[in-house]
Amino acid sequence: MEIIHTVAALKMLLAPLQKADSKIALVPTMGALHKGHLSLIEMAQKQAQIVVCSIFVNPTQFTDPKDLERYPRPLEHDIKMLYDAGCNVVFMPSVKEMYPSFPTPEHWQVDLGPAEFLLEGEFRKGHYQGVTQIVKKLFDAVQPDVAFFGQKDFQQVLMIKNMVKYFNMEVEIVSCPIIREEDGLAMSSRNIHLSLTDRENALVLSKALTYVATHFDQENLPTLLAKAKTMINETPGVVLDYFTIADGETLLPIENKNAAHPVALVAAKVGETRLIDNVLLS
């Protein structure tokens, strides 16, 4: 497994492979890896000859400086996990490598469509410009044939697909299923911050989503939403940001169940930790 820190070294390593027509996959991460990340690596290995995993805690996508500061960075552990998983290349650039003028912001923007400003975009202003900035830079550095993202960050996958369309990029975007703990909690690097009580309370998010998914055919939309929100609001230590049943492309709330790609999405603060989760309803 090669560990690379600069774009120049990465390009030098990948150029001969690209020339030889090896299929290259990219799995972008912010590290603090868990089984959810490893599932993306596994999916990538099935579809490509070379798997590049990037580990970069991207400052431009954080709206809360405290969140950035306390983001876990267990680098040695991450490298061992990727080595054991048979990953080929780990790309771990510095902030200056990816943003040469940092902390002066780069002003270019991508038109991600109106869904950029909904849900996560409403609670984390500028978040998806930060996400697409770094993913664009990673795509430029790696030139992958295919890139793997988790459905866990549902809106992120949508925004990246919109960016790929916007720039006419030739990269396939694959969305991979959410990996959960046995009790249903969606795996997340941020779960490490949950106290034992938070951990217990956080289960209400996946329970509310499961309720909606299992009753979607029987109950009407207002009832489903009311029940899910009540479950969450009645759980101590959990503060709901949003719970919505939306169209998977516009992210606008659906008005009837015939919508093409309905999805239930939730975000809430559990103790000091903000969590997101979702479930597809079709």
What pairing do the DSSP bridges indicate for beta strands 89-91 and 2-4? parallel
For the beta carbon of residue 153, count every other beta carbon within 10 angstroms.
18
Helix (H) / strand (E) element for 135: namely helix 127-142
Nearer to ligand AMP, 29 or 235 (CB): 29
Residue at 180: amino acid letter: R
* 25: contact with ligand AMP by CB under 6 A: no
By CB under 6 A, the count of residues binding ligand AMP is 17
- Residues with Cβ within 8 Å of residue 102, at least 6 apart in sequence: 59, 95, 96
Please select the residue that binds ligand AMP; options are 119, 176, 264, 268, rule is CB under 6 A: 176
- Residues with Cβ within 8 Å of residue 218, at least 6 apart in sequence: none
Selecting among 37, 107, 215, 261, the annotated active-site residue is 37
What pairing do the DSSP bridges indicate for beta strands 238-247 and 262-270? antiparallel
Please select the residue that binds ligand AMP; options are 4, 14, 26, 39, rule is CB under 6 A: 39
Please select the residue that binds ligand AMP; options are 79, 146, 169, 179, rule is CB under 6 A: 179
Please state the closest distance from residue 152 (CB atom) to ligand AMP, in A.
4
Q: How far apart are CA 145 and CA 48, in angstroms?
A: 8
Please state the closest distance from residue 270 (CB atom) to ligand AMP, in A.
16
Is 34 assigned a catalytic role?
A: no
Token pair for 55: 């580990």
Please state the closest distance from residue 223 (CB atom) to ligand AMP, in A.
29
Nearer to ligand AMP, 55 or 224 (CB): 55
Place of tokens 């697909």: 161
Q: Is 156 exposed, middle or buried (0-12, 13-18, 19+ CB in 10 A)?
A: buried
* 263: contact with ligand AMP by CB under 6 A: no
* 248: contact with ligand AMP by CB under 6 A: no
Instruction: Enumerate helices (H) and strands (E) in the chain, giving the number of each.
Output: 10, 9
Token pair for 278: 């979702």
Torsion angle, CA of 263/219/238/265, rounded to 10 degrees? 10
* 160: contact with ligand AMP by CB under 6 A: no
Nearer to ligand AMP, 129 or 188 (CB): 188
Q: Cβ distance 25 to 47 under 8 Å?
A: yes
* 188: contact with ligand AMP by CB under 6 A: yes
Please select the residue that binds ligand AMP; options are 97, 116, 120, 153, rule is CB under 6 A: 153
Please state the closest distance from residue 30 (CB atom) to ligand AMP, in A.
4
Site for ligand AMP in 112-151 (CB under 6 A): 149-150
Phi (first) and psi of residue 92, to 5 degrees: -125, 75
Q: How far apart are CA 15 and CA 134, in angstroms?
A: 21
Name the one range near ligand AMP by CB under 6 A: 13-21, 136-144, 175-183, 194-202.
175-183
Please state the closest distance from residue 57 (CB atom) to ligand AMP, in A.
9
Please state the closest distance from residue 175 (CB atom) to ligand AMP, in A.
9
Residues near ligand AMP, by CB under 6 A: 29-30, 36-37, 39-40, 149-150, 152-153, 176, 178-179, 186-189
Q: Which residues are catalytic?
A: 37
